[in-house]
Structure 1
Amino acid sequence: MPRFRRTALAAGLTIAMAALSTAVALPAPASAALPTAAVALGDSFISGEGAGAYTPVVDANGVTQGFPGWTAANNNAFFCHRSANASLHKANLPGIQNRFNLACSGGQPHDIANASQARTSGRTVAAQLDQLRAVAQTQDIDLVLIGLGSNNSSFTFGSVAEKCANRFIADAWTGWWEFWAYLNGPVEQKPCSDADLATAAQLSAATAETTAAVRQILTTLDQVDADGQHRVVFQDYTNPLPLDLNPQFHEEDSRDDTRDKFRDLGAERYAAGCPIHRASLAPGHRFSQALGTIVKSTRDTLAAEFPADDLVYLNVQQAFNGARLCEQTSSPSGALATPIRLQDGATGTFVTSLSGKDKIAIQRIANTCVSYFQTCQESWHPNATGHQVLGQCLSGAATTGARSVACVRSSNGTISVS
C-alpha cells in the first residue's frame, strides 16, 4: 500500500475514533488494585516483646536501626522490639498479602499521633499514625490489630511489674530491720495491693487517653484506606502469672513468703520465672481485668461514634490458661510467657539463678535493669510460643461475625475463639 494511502487511512481512523469517543465516553483503564495488608499498632504485647527475632526499625530520622548493643540508650528505635514472631505474623489471615508491625514496646496513647521521643522515656520513632499513612500509600489496609491501654501517663506495665517483683526480692533478701534501696529509691518489703498498681482515678484517665488515641486511628483509617473496608481488632492483655502458684513454689526450707527473709524461696521463684508474693497475684489479675475493661470500653465507645466501622473486641485474658509462669512445676519450661530475666551488668548474659547471691549482688543486678532497661524489658511478656497462641486468637477475631470474642486455652492446650 502506498505511503499516502496508509497515512490517509490512519487519519480517517483517527477521525472516526474521535467521533466515536465524542458520542460514547470510553471507560478509563482500570488501575491496578493495591495489595491487601494487615497492620499492628500499639504497645509491647502487640509488637512482640519477649518473642525474640527482633527486626530492624526505621527511626524518626529515616535511619534503619539494628541492635545497637546492650549499653545503648533505650530510646533507640530498635528497642521497639518488633518481632518476626509477633502474633500478627503468626496468624492465619486469608486474603491478606502483606503485614506491617508498627507497634512499639512501651508505646502509649501519646505515641499514636505524636513522635514517641517527645515524651519522657519515649523512643526515636515517628508517630504511629504517620507510619500508618505511609503504609496506606501502597497498601489496601484490610485488618488492623490494636493493643493499647497498658501504658499511659498514669502507669505502665513495666513499672507495675518492676514494683511487685522488686518488693518480693527485697523481702526475700533483707530483714525487716534492714534497708533495701537501688537506683530508683527505697523498696517496700510487702506484697502489692490494688492501689499500688492503679487507682480508680488512674484507670479512668487511662481509659480517656486510650479512647482519644484510638479515635484518631479510626479517623485516619477512614481517610486513607483505599477501599474504606477494614476490620479493627481491639486486643486486651493476658496475665503472665496464674491466680496462684503451683504448690511446689509455695515454700522452701520450711519458709513461705510471709516470713522474714526467705532467700531460698526467692531464688527458687526467680529461677522459675515468678519472683512475686502470692498475695500480689490477685491484685495483679484484677489489674489485668481492668486493662481489659479499658480496651472494651474504648471499643464500645467508638463503635457508637463510628457505626459503619467494623470493630471487634478480642479478650485474651484466658489465652494462657494452664501455661502461665509457675503454674506448672516445670516452669519456665512450657510456659507461654518470658520469665523475669536480669543481667549482672549489661553483658548480654542473663542471670538464671540467684541462689547463693547476697543482697549486694542482688542490688547490682537490679540496678542494671534500671540503667539499661533493654537488659530486662522482655520480662513477663508473651514468648514466641505465646505469640503463636495469640496468633490463633487473632485468626479467630479476624473472621468472626461477632463484635466481641474470647480466646480461651483449654486444659489440653486447644485454643478456642468464641
Structure 2
Amino acid sequence: MGDSTLSGEGAGDYSAETDGAGGNWCHRSSHAAVGLIDVPGVDARVNLACSGASTDDVLLDGTAQWTEPSQARQLGELARTNRVAAVVVAIGANDDPRFSRLMSECVNARISLGPPCRDAVRQDWAQRLDAVVPKVVHALDDIRTALGQVGYDEGDYQLVLLSYASPVAPDIPEELRNLSACPFRNEDLAWIRDHAVGTMAEALREAAGRADARFLDFSQAGRGREACAGGNDPGREWFTRLTLDWDSFGDPERAAHASVESFHPNAEGHRQFARCIGEFLGTPDREASCVADEDGDLRVGGGGIGAEVGDRVR
C-alpha cells in the first residue's frame, strides 16, 4: 500500500488499467516488489499502492487517487474474503516533504544555473518532517481500523512501514549531468542523499513507533546503485535516470505523465527491495535496515539509521 515506491513506478510493464485507462495513472508494475516478496505460507500478493498517493489517499475517509477509492477501504474489502498476513506500506513522501517536487526543483536549479535547491528547501525541512509524522500515524491507524472492522486483531497480521531510498548520489560523472541522465548540482545530490533521505527515515520511524508498526529503513539501501552511479554502465543501477516518454508528448492525456518514471526504483531495484522485505517479514525484529551484503545484494541489516543523518534541523 502507499505510493510509487511500492506501486512499481519506474519498473515499466504497467497494468493496462493503471496506465491511463479512464484516468487511472497508479502505474502498478508487474515488476513491483510486492509481487516478488517471498514469504513462506503466503500464496498471493495484492498491490494497492498508487503512484503519487499521499496519506489522504490511504485514509478510510480519504480522497480518491487517480479515480481509485481509499486504499484502506480497498484493503478492508479484500480482507473480507482473504486472510491478510502482512501489510507493507510506503507513504509520506508526497505529503509535506513533497519529495517528487523537490527532485524537480533540483533539476530546474541545474538547468537554470540558479542557486542549489537545497538552500530554499532546508529552511523548513525539519518543519515538513514534523508535520508528516501524525499524518502517517493516522494512515497506519486507519489500516488497522479497516482490518479491525472485518474481524482482525492486531496480532493477526504484520504491519510494516518502509522509509525511502535515495535515488541519486553526489560525485557522478560530469558528462551525465544533463537532460539525458541526471541534471543535478552536486551540492543538491549530496544534501538529498546524506541528509534529506535519512532525516525523512527518522521521521517515519517515529511514526511507525507511535502506530505500533514495524519499521524497515531503506535510507541506505541504494548506496552505490543510485541513478547515474554506474557511469557508462546503467545496468548497475537500481534507479531510473531522467526518463522521458517522447511518444506521450503527442497525446494531451499522457503528456503530463511523460516524465513520472524518473528517479524511481527500476525492475532490478524492486527485485532487490523484495528480497529485503521478505527477509524482514520472516524475522521477529521490530525494526531493521536494508543494506547491501558483500555480494552487492540487498539484505536485512541492523536496526537504526545511518550515522551521517544527523538531526532534522541541519
Give the TM interval when normalised to the shorter protein.
0.7 to 0.9
Query: Mapping of 1:132-281 within 5 angstroms?
Result: 132-152=75-95, 154-171=96-113, 189-193=114-118, 195-196=120-121, 199-224=125-150, 229-242=156-169, 244-246=170-172, 249-250=173-174, 265=175, 268-270=176-178, 273-281=181-189
Shift of 1:321: 1.9
Distance 1:344 1:99, change over 3 A: closer
Question: Is this contact kept in 2: 1:49–1:381, CA < 8 A?
Answer: yes
Question: Is this contact kept in 2: 1:233–1:397, CA < 8 A?
Answer: no
Overall identity of the aligned pairs, in %: 29
Question: Is this contact kept in 2: 1:321–1:411, CA < 8 A?
Answer: no
Give me the whole-angstrom Cα distance separating, in 1, the residues matched to 2:18 and 2:285.
40
Shift of 1:125: 0.7
> How big is each residue's C-alpha offset from its partner over 1:90-148, in whole Å with a ceiling of 9 and x where there is no partner?
1111111211110111111111124534xxxx421101111011101110100100101
> How big is each residue's C-alpha offset from its partner over 1:55-111, in whole Å with a ceiling of 9 and x where there is no partner?
24xxxxxxxx35447xx8xxx22x111111111111111111211110111111111
1:339 correspondence with 2:299: no
> How big is each residue's C-alpha offset from its partner over 1:127-184, in whole Å with a ceiling of 9 and x where there is no partner?
11110111011101001001011011x342221111001111122xxxxxxxxxxxxx
1:103 correspondence with 2:46: no
Give me the whole-angstrom Cα distance separating, in 1, the residues matched to 2:180 and 2:290.
26
- Name which of 377, 380, 383 aligns with 2:263: 380
Q: Deviation above 6 Å: which 4+ runs of structure 1?
A: none
Give me the whole-angstrom Cα distance separating, in 2, the residues matched to 1:291 and 1:396.
23
Give me the whole-angstrom Cα distance separating, in 2, the residues matched to 1:103 and 1:300.
22
State the one-letter code of the partner of 2:11: A
In structure 1, list runs of 5 or more residues that go unmatched.
1-40, 57-64, 172-188, 251-264, 304-310, 350-367
Report the RMSD for the aligned CA atoms in angstroms: 2.4
Give me the whole-angstrom Cα distance separating, in 2, the residues matched to 1:273 and 1:128.
34
Shift of 1:402: 1.0
Shift of 1:47: 0.9
Give me the whole-angstrom Cα distance separating, in 2, the residues matched to 1:411 and 1:373.
41
> How big is each residue's C-alpha offset from its partner over 1:22-68, in whole Å with a ceiling of 9 and x where there is no partner?
xxxxxxxxxxxxxxxxxxx1111011111112124xxxxxxxx3544
Query: Mapping of 1:109-128 within 5 angstroms?
Result: 109-113=55-59, 114-117=61-64, 122-128=65-71
* Residue in structure 2 matched with residue 50 of structure 1 by the alignment: 10
Query: Mapping of 1:84-99 within 5 angstroms?
Result: 84-99=30-45
Distance 1:323 1:66, change over 3 A: closer
Question: Is this contact kept in 2: 1:319–1:415, CA < 8 A?
Answer: yes
Give TM-score scaled by structure 1 length: 0.66
Give me the whole-angstrom Cα distance separating, in 2, the residues matched to 1:377 and 1:278.
22
Question: Is this contact kept in 2: 1:314–1:407, CA < 8 A?
Answer: yes
Give me the whole-angstrom Cα distance separating, in 1, the residues matched to 2:101 and 2:85.
34
In structure 2, list runs of 5 or more residues that go unmatched.
302-314
- Name which of 351, 373, 393 aligns with 2:276: 393
Distance 1:336 1:130, change over 3 A: same
1:403 correspondence with 2:280: no
Question: Is this contact kept in 2: 1:140–1:226, CA < 8 A?
Answer: no
Q: Which has the larger radius of gyration?
A: 1
More strand as a share of residues: 1
State the one-letter code of the partner of 1:190: P
1:282 correspondence with 2:190: yes
> How big is each residue's C-alpha offset from its partner over 1:192-219, in whole Å with a ceiling of 9 and x where there is no partner?
2164165222211111211112111122
State the one-letter code of the partner of 1:110: D
Give me the whole-angstrom Cα distance separating, in 1, the residues matched to 2:237 and 2:270.
12
Give me the whole-angstrom Cα distance separating, in 2, the residues matched to 1:272 and 1:107.
27
* Residue in structure 1 matched with residue 209 of structure 2 by the alignment: 300
Question: Is this contact kept in 1: 2:18–2:28, CA < 8 A?
Answer: no
Distance 1:324 1:68, change over 3 A: closer
Question: Is this contact kept in 2: 1:55–1:81, CA < 8 A?
Answer: yes
State the one-letter code of the partner of 1:167: A
Question: Is this contact kept in 1: 2:19–2:27, CA < 8 A?
Answer: no
Distance 1:331 1:279, change over 3 A: farther
